[in-house]
Structure 1
Amino acid sequence: MLTSLPPVWHGRLVALKGGQTNHCFRLETGQGCYWLRLGCQTPARLGINRHHELIIHQAASRAGLAPLIRYSDTRTGLLILDWLSEPDWRQTPGSLTALMNRVARLHRLEVRGPGRLNLHHRAQHYLEQLTHQPAWLTATLAQFSQPELNPDFTPVLCHCDLTAGNLMGPRPWLLDWEYACLADAAFELAVIADDRALDDNGCAALLAAYNAAGGQVSLARLRARLPWVQLLTLLWAMVQYQHTQKASYQVWLESARAKLTNRLG
């Protein structure tokens, strides 16, 4: 892999743990240390568009929200960023206020090129890849046609995967822009609320911090997007389990199914 890159990037690779679909490394060269990602072989299967990812990451980097891209190749999903020595939020959770300031700033950015997230289309994209749909899934999907789960919104630039592993340091840096696109700000906040397992009080605090930072999302819209986060997580894990047969994806989908069942009653 390194020999296919310009000589300036030749060095020593140390494999890193933690990635769900990609291969990540610490790259040590004569110029310093960097983070290198080699993308999965079938990004389209997971709804990833490498060109959109690059456009949005570059815009976020210019705004000071994401690390600078040093090298990229959209054909392979190869990405080289400066090495960050700060812990991610799985190890050291940061301030909700600091995160909401960053998220609200992201939602104000204007970028040409990225597509718009249609939740029904994304769910259908995953469903079409499944060789078998259990009866319980068919019954669950029927509930997502309800008007209360499909509120009107004005799309803004969203990361769409701001889980603890994609937040680094107290500022924080926003990492892993694979699913970034134009979407509902409430969906962005629902991803964060779901990852942090926030109750009603926690969701209210999240919204208060976001709205104080210049955003505008209601509790009703946030509640409408939480089932969508859990549904897409469930379908994504089902596709991955079917493709890899890894037990970790089975655990992931069962967790998402339990949360979704509880959410929908």
Structure 2
Amino acid sequence: MKTRYDDVLSLCAEPAVRAALGAVADIEPLAGLSNRVFRLTAAKGRFILRVERPENAGRIDRQAELHNARIAEACGIGAAVVHADPGRGVMLVRAVEAATPLAERPREARAADAARLGTAIGRLHGATVPFRGRFGPREILRRLASEVGRHAALPAGAGLLIARMEGLARSMECGAGRTVPSHGDLVAGNVLVAAGRIVLIDWEYSAMADPAWDLAYAALECGLDGGAERAMLATYAAAAGWVPAADRLAGFKALCATISALWALDQEAAGNPATDFGAYARLRFESADRFAAGLPEVWPTDAE
């Protein structure tokens, strides 16, 4: 009898995958927006299998993702990569035992978790082996706005916001003094807390980027309040030896929210059924408007 996991079972039966897993005893589906994700219990342990959704085929450089994920693993902040097939968007990592996604952690632990996250980001940004790929907010803004514009009309007011964000991104890039190995997608579900340490997962958007991107994105998408954000920045400064200026981080929050909104509209246009991407985009546009309302005209580039 055909089941909804037949394709996963077939993948697990392939020689290279079976050699890593052994016999599979259980398959548990997990949440995933860009990918289908499964927890596998097998003879050789527990693993996480990531399979690219058809709607996202060809949109992500999976060779760069694998390269970057292995560097993160070597830095002690990424899960152990067991097997990968970049051509098909398949990655198998060893499950992090006793791990809880930040999204599921109690709010009273958020400041301590944020402090650990700051240390992890600092270690990542200090990696001596460069990541493959380069993330430039202005380029991403233009590409996503163009993609979305081919399929649907932008929401009212979004065009003006995007134009302003392009100008902001141009200013940021002109003043950028460095790029560092960056995760690129520090949503709460990609941050695991395990035995008092942070493990970062899902490296598909990783690249060399401005250090402010990861910090701003983590503060925004992990829902850090003022105290938790300060805790993250303090431990980041201790690990990295510096921290981006406050106004620069505020500007990057507006950029992060705008790009997230456009990404969601692009996923909706591609037919990705994982969630209500229209509602997701509306919330991010609202956040971007709030951040943009208080932005200054001059953007600091030096460390505080």
| TM-score (normalised: structure 2) | 0.79
Supply the AA of the counterpart residue of 1:30: A
Query: How many Å apart are 1:254 and its aligned residue?
Result: 0.9
Question: For residue 86 of structure 2, what is the aligned residue in structure 1?
Answer: 74
Instruction: Tell me the residue number matched to 1:159.
Output: 183
Contact 1:237–1:253 at 8 Å: present in 2 too?
yes
Note the 1:108-147 alignment, pairs <5 A: 108-112=126-130, 114-130=132-148, 131-134=151-154, 135-147=156-168
Distance 1:185 1:40, change over 3 A: same
What is the deviation of 1:28?
Answer: 2.4
Tell me if structure 2 keeps the 8 A contact 1:43–1:49: no
Quick one: distance in 2 between partners of 1:128 and 1:32? 44
The counterpart of 1:61, out of the listed 73, 97, 102, is 73
In 2, are the aligned partners of 1:72 and 1:78 still within 8 Å (CA)? yes
Q: 1:95 — aligned with what?
A: 113
Aligned length: 264
Give the secondary structure class of the aligned counterpart of 2:47: strand
Separation of aligned partners in 2, 1:148 and 1:27: 41
One-letter amino acid matched to 1:104: G
SS of 1:27's equivalent in the other structure is strand
The corresponding residue for 1:176 is: 202
CA distance in 2, matches of 1:35, 1:242: 28
1:40 aligns with 2:67: no
Do the aligned partners of 2:179 and 2:209 also contact (CA within 8 Å) in 1? yes
Query: Equivalent residue for 2:125?
Result: 107
Cα distance in structure 1, aligned partners of 2:272 and 2:24: 34
* SS of corresponding position for 1:211: helix
| Counterpart check, 1:27 vs 2:53 | no
Distance 1:263 1:45, change over 3 A: farther
The farther-off stretch of 125-134 and 181-190 is: 125-134
Aligned with 2:219 (options 187, 193, 196): 193
Shift of 1:104: 0.5
Please name the residue that 2:302 is paired with.
none
With the length of structure 1 as denominator, give the TM-score of the two structures.
Answer: 0.90
Distance 1:200 1:97, change over 3 A: closer
3-state secondary structure, aligned to 2:204: coil
Please list every run of 5 or more consecutive structure 2 residues that lacks an aligned counterpart in the other structure: 1-10, 294-304
Letter in 2 for 1:241: E
Match of 2:250 in 1: 223
CA distance in 2, matches of 1:41, 1:117: 23
Residues 219-262 of structure 1, C-alpha deviations (whole Å, 9 max, x = no match) = 12101101110011000000111222756111101110111122
Contact 1:161–1:188 (CA<8 Å) still a contact in 2? yes
Paired residue for 1:261? Answer: 289
Bigger Cα displacement from structure 2, 50-59 vs 162-171: 162-171
- Tell me which residue corresponds to 1:49: 61
